[in-house]
Structure 1
Amino acid sequence: MFLDHPGAVEPTNNGSERLLRPAVIQRKMTNGYRAMWAAEGEAAIRTVVDTARLTGSGSFGTILKTIGA
């Protein structure tokens, strides 16, 4: 894809790795989750907050819109 669209797509996945790093550090510090619902909830919230950050939206407002949808 990066060859077809030079400059639009990075040739590495460093951006994705950097976005995952806080979740990995949190998991290491807390030794993970004991319940699957807690892990899924954390992933859902982190996804909404990270997407809001990337689009320049407010995290709290985006969470409220997501819950209300």
Structure 2
Amino acid sequence: MVFLDHSGAVEPTNNGSERLLRPAVVQRKMTNGYRAMWAAAGEADIRTVVDTARLTGSTSFGTILKTVGA
């Protein structure tokens, strides 16, 4: 198991990932999902950029602008 081979570097559970996914799951339940796949994909793309910006300490808006401009 990876977390045993790399003690302290890898968590033994995926609890952190589950917490990051929770807002998307709640949003999907509140709105009864998406009717179009492009809308679901767009939501996932934006959420990925915003969450990555938050984890790296960057501003969400600035990161979105950089992503769109790339």
TM-score by length of 1: 0.97
Correspondence 1:65 to 2:66: yes
Question: Kindly, what percent of the aligned residue pairs are identical?
Answer: 90
- The whole-number CA distance in structure 1 between the counterparts of 2:4 and 2:67 is 36
Q: Read off the aligned partner of 1:22 and give its amino acid letter.
A: P
Alignment coverage as a number of residue pairs: 69
RMSD (Å), alpha carbons: 0.5
Higher fraction of helix: 2
Q: How far is 1:4 from its partner? A: 1.4
Structure 2: segments with no counterpart, 5+ residues: none
Deviations 1:3-36 (A, max 9, x none): 1111111000000000000000000000000011
Partner of 1:29: 30
Deviations 1:24-54 (A, max 9, x none): 0000000000011100000000000000001
- The whole-number CA distance in structure 2 between the counterparts of 1:5 and 1:51 is 24
TM-score by length of 2: 0.96
Structure 1: segments with no counterpart, 5+ residues: none
Partner of 2:39: 38
* Large movers: runs of 4+ above 2 Å: none
- The whole-number CA distance in structure 2 between the counterparts of 1:18 and 1:62 is 22
